[in-house]
Structure 1
Amino acid sequence: MATLSDTPSQDDTPSRSASPSAVLRAQGVSLGFDGTTILQGVDLEVQPREFVAVVGASGVGKSTLLRALAGLIAPREGQVEIPAGNSDDTRAWSMVFQAPRLFPWRRVRANVELGLEGLALSRAQRRERALEPLALVGLDGYAERWPHTLSGGQQQRIGIARALAVRPRVLFMDEPFSALDAITRRRLQTELVDLRRRSEAAIVFVTHDIEEAVLLADRVLVLGGGKDDGPAGMVDVIDVALPKEERREHAGFAECVQGIEGLIGTSAADESS
Structure 2
Amino acid sequence: MNQPDIATSREADDAPVLTARGIRLGFSGTTVLDGVDLAVRPREFIAIVGASGVGKSTLLRALTGLLTPQAGRVSIPHGRDADSRAWSMVFQAPRLFPWRRVRANVELGLEGLELSRDERRRRALEPLALVGLEDMAERWPHTLSGGQQQRVGIARALAVRPRVLFMDEPFSALDAITRRRLQQELIDLRQRTEAAIVFVTHDIEEAVLLADRVVVLGREAANRPAGVVARHEITLPATERRDHPDFADTVQAVEAAIGEH
Equivalent of 1:75, from 64, 69, 79?
Answer: 69
1:65-86: CA deviation from partner (whole Å, max 9, x where unpaired): 0010000000111010011001
> SS in structure 2 opposite 1:248?
coil
Q: Is the 8 A contact 2:14 2:42 kept in 1?
A: no
Other-structure match for 1:52: 46
Q: Is the 8 A contact 1:42 1:233 kept in 2?
A: yes
Equivalent of 1:96, from 74, 87, 90?
Answer: 90
Q: Give the distance between the partners of 1:227 and 1:114, measured in 2 at CA.
A: 44
Equivalent of 1:133, from 108, 113, 127?
Answer: 127
Other-structure match for 2:136: 142
Other-structure match for 2:250: 256
Task: Note the residue ranges of structure 2 that are not aligned, 5 or more in a row.
Answer: 1-12
Q: Give the distance between the partners of 1:80 and 1:59, measured in 2 at CA.
A: 22
Alpha carbons of structure 1 residues 226 and 162: separation in structure 2 relative to 1, 3 Å: farther
TM-score (norm 2): 0.94
Other-structure match for 2:9: none
Question: Would you say 1:123 and 2:99 are equivalent positions?
Answer: no
Q: Give the distance between the partners of 2:230 and 2:219, measured in 1 at CA.
A: 12
Q: Give the distance between the partners of 1:69 and 1:51, measured in 2 at CA.
A: 15
1:78-112: CA deviation from partner (whole Å, max 9, x where unpaired): 01001100111000000000000000000000000
Deviation, structure 1 residue 226: 7.4
Other-structure match for 2:10: none
Count of aligned pairs between the two proteins: 249
> SS in structure 2 opposite 1:241?
coil
Q: Is the 8 A contact 1:51 1:203 kept in 2?
A: yes
Other-structure match for 2:20: 26
> SS in structure 2 opposite 1:245?
helix
Q: Give the distance between the partners of 2:150 and 2:132, measured in 1 at CA.
A: 12
Runs of 4+ in 1 over 2 A off after TM superposition: none
Task: Note the residue ranges of structure 1 that are not aligned, 5 or more in a row.
Answer: 1-18, 268-273
Q: Which amino acid aligns with 1:97?
A: F
Deviation, structure 1 residue 193: 0.0
Q: Give the distance between the partners of 2:250 and 2:29, measured in 1 at CA.
A: 37
TM-score (norm 1): 0.90
Deviation, structure 1 residue 20: 2.9
Other-structure match for 1:163: 157
> SS in structure 1 opposite 2:238?
coil
Q: Which amino acid aligns with 1:39?
A: L
Q: Is the 8 A contact 1:39 1:232 kept in 2?
A: yes
Q: Is the 8 A contact 1:93 1:169 kept in 2?
A: yes
Alpha carbons of structure 1 residues 227 and 266: separation in structure 2 relative to 1, 3 Å: closer
Q: Is the 8 A contact 2:23 2:73 kept in 1?
A: yes
1:129-182: CA deviation from partner (whole Å, max 9, x where unpaired): 100000000101100000000000000000000000000000000000000000
Task: Using the aligned pairs only, state the percent identity.
Answer: 73
Q: Is the 8 A contact 1:38 1:226 kept in 2?
A: no
Equivalent of 2:60, from 37, 61, 66?
Answer: 66
Question: Would you say 1:178 and 2:172 are equivalent positions?
Answer: yes
Q: Give the distance between the partners of 1:32 and 1:227, measured in 2 at CA.
A: 17
Q: Which amino acid aligns with 1:218?
A: D
Other-structure match for 1:270: none
Alpha carbons of structure 1 residues 184 and 266: separation in structure 2 relative to 1, 3 Å: same
Deviation, structure 1 residue 228: 4.8
Alpha carbons of structure 1 residues 227 and 139: separation in structure 2 relative to 1, 3 Å: farther
Q: Give the distance between the partners of 1:44 and 1:218, measured in 2 at CA.
A: 14
Q: Is the 8 A contact 1:55 1:210 kept in 2?
A: yes
